Amino acid sequence: MTLATQPMPGLVDAYGRVAEDLRVSLTDRCNLRCSYCMPADGLAWLPGRTILSDAEVVRLVGVAVGRLGVRKLRLTGGEPLLRPGLAGIIRSVRELRTRDAEPPEVALTTNGIGLDRQLEGLVAAGLGRVNVSLDSLDPARYARLARRDRLPEVLRGLEAAAASGLRPVKVNTVVMRDANEQDVVPLAEFCLERGYELRFIEQMPLGPRHGWDRTAMVSAAEVLGRLQEHYRLVPLPGRGAAPSEDWQVLGDDGAVRGRIGVIASVTRPFCRACDRTRLTADGQVRTCLFSQTETDLRTPLREGASDEELAELWLGAHRGKGPGHGIGTAGFRQPERTMSSIGG
């Protein structure tokens, strides 16, 4: 049997975890400057020649889906709606087939700006789900956190997501001390009324240097405490590899009002169940948000490597995946790249 016809193992690591969920960053650029993600002045953007072309993105995703067992894709960034070829990339990756001969599921994480204008085309191309990040409903607080006064555009994007029929529409919120703690319940109410699934994410040390303080971080437990002052929360089982711990929200009359989740990446890490692999906009595989090393696929790709060779490199990266992010341990070091450049 030749190498080309040998079935390859999935992206298994030394701890027996299998990565089937690929996060693809399509750009490191963004039209917001969320304080937990990017410095106020932005960053030195990745040089254009290092950014994978649309065809290169599709080729590498094809290796992951066709050879390495990836089933789910999430397109992110930076802000993925800033990528001119986004609809074309979605259309092309939906033509790929997983090992079960299914098209991969394709989801998008976005800040929502411009989503109202682009969504119809993205859905026609095969987009299956969308998450919109929203940290406050108060225009002044939103503008302070995102360092841009663009809340109305985000809300228009969110309305477009609801009107598109994509379900569930998920909303991501990072709660910051002395910044948007007072938004927890208004955001919950806003999402429950509209049928959106809200997930509160603990702030991780992936933003500007020295911008994270464990003692100041608003924990998932604290967020749940605030919610419990207003709602009855019933834990939902069946988390699997999902980072979110979900709760059913009951109204005063006991009727189900919806679902809210918390992503306790810092206080209750889910590394043992991690099923993720990541590809940066400049073609580097990261096995973890907090990796200190990356595996370059762009150079071999441009030098003519075959799909098998690229798959071997990707597999090799996962064999070296660490057991967990180690936040709070003595040896922990924040990675060089910020969240915007890794792809959240």
- Return residues touching ligand SF4 (CB under 6 A): 30, 32-34, 37-38, 77-79, 111, 133, 339-340
Q: Which among 197, 196, 18, 21 is positioned nearest to 105, based on CA atoms?
A: 21
Among 27, 35, 110, 284, binds ligand SAM (CB under 6 A): 110
Contact status, residue 308 vs residue 68, Cβ threshold 8 Å: no
C-alpha 48/C-alpha 6 separation (Å) is: 36
Measured distance CA(9)–CA(156) in Å, rounded? 43
Q: Which of residues 23-62 bind ligand SAM (CB under 6 A)?
A: 30, 36-37
Q: Provide the 10 A C-beta neighbour count for residue 152.
A: 11
Contacting residues for 316 by C-beta, under 8 A, at least 6 apart = 295
User: 201 is in the binding site of which of ligand SF4, ligand SAM, none (Cβ under 5 to 8 A by kind)?
Assistant: ligand SAM
Closest approach of ligand SF4 to the CB of residue 110, in Å: 8
Q: Is-contact 244 223, C-beta < 8 A? A: no
> Please, are residues 20 and 65 in contact by the beta-carbon 8 Å criterion?
no
Output 110 or 287, the one with its CB closest to ligand SAM: 110
277 contacts which partner out of ligand SF4, ligand SAM, none, CB within 5 to 8 A by kind?
A: none
* Maximum Cα interatomic distance, the chain, rounded to a whole number of Å: 65
Nearer to ligand SAM, 30 or 288 (CB): 30
Encoded one letter per residue, x for contact with ligand SAM by CB under 6 A and - for no contact, window 60-79 reads: ----------------xx-x
What minimum distance in Å lies between the beta carbon of 222 and ligand SF4? 21
- What ranges in the chain are assigned the alpha helix state H? 54-67, 86-94, 115-125, 139-146, 151-164, 184-194, 220-228, 298-302, 307-319, 339-342
Concatenate the DSSP letters of all residues of 197-237 into one string: EEEEE---S-SSTT---TTTS--HHHHHHHHHTTSEEEE--
Measured from the CB atom, is 36 or 196 closer to ligand SAM?
A: 36
Q: Which is nearer to ligand SF4, 24 or 311 (CB)?
A: 24
CB atoms within 10 A of CB 42: 13
Of 148-177, binders to ligand SAM (CB under 6 A) are 172, 174
Q: Which residue is nearest to ligand SAM (CB)?
A: 344
Residue placing its CB nearer to ligand SF4 in the complex, 79 or 246: 79
Task: In angstroms, give the least distance from the CB of 256 to ligand SF4.
Answer: 31
Residue 33 interacts with which of ligand SAM, ligand SF4, none, CB < 5 to 8 Å by class: ligand SF4
Residue 344 binds ligand SAM (CB under 6 A): yes
Upstream peptide bond of 168 is cis (omega within 30 degrees of 0): yes
Q: Is 136 in the site for ligand SAM (CB under 6 A)?
A: no
| Interface with ligand SAM, residue 179, by CB under 6 A | no
Residue closer to ligand SF4 by CB (options 244, 340) is 340
What's phi and psi for 19, nearest 5 deg? -90, 115
| Cβ distance to ligand SF4 smaller for residue 34 or 96 | 34
**Residue ranges binding ligand SAM (CB under 6 A):** 30, 36-37, 76-77, 79, 109-111, 133, 172, 174, 201, 203-204, 206-207, 339-340, 344
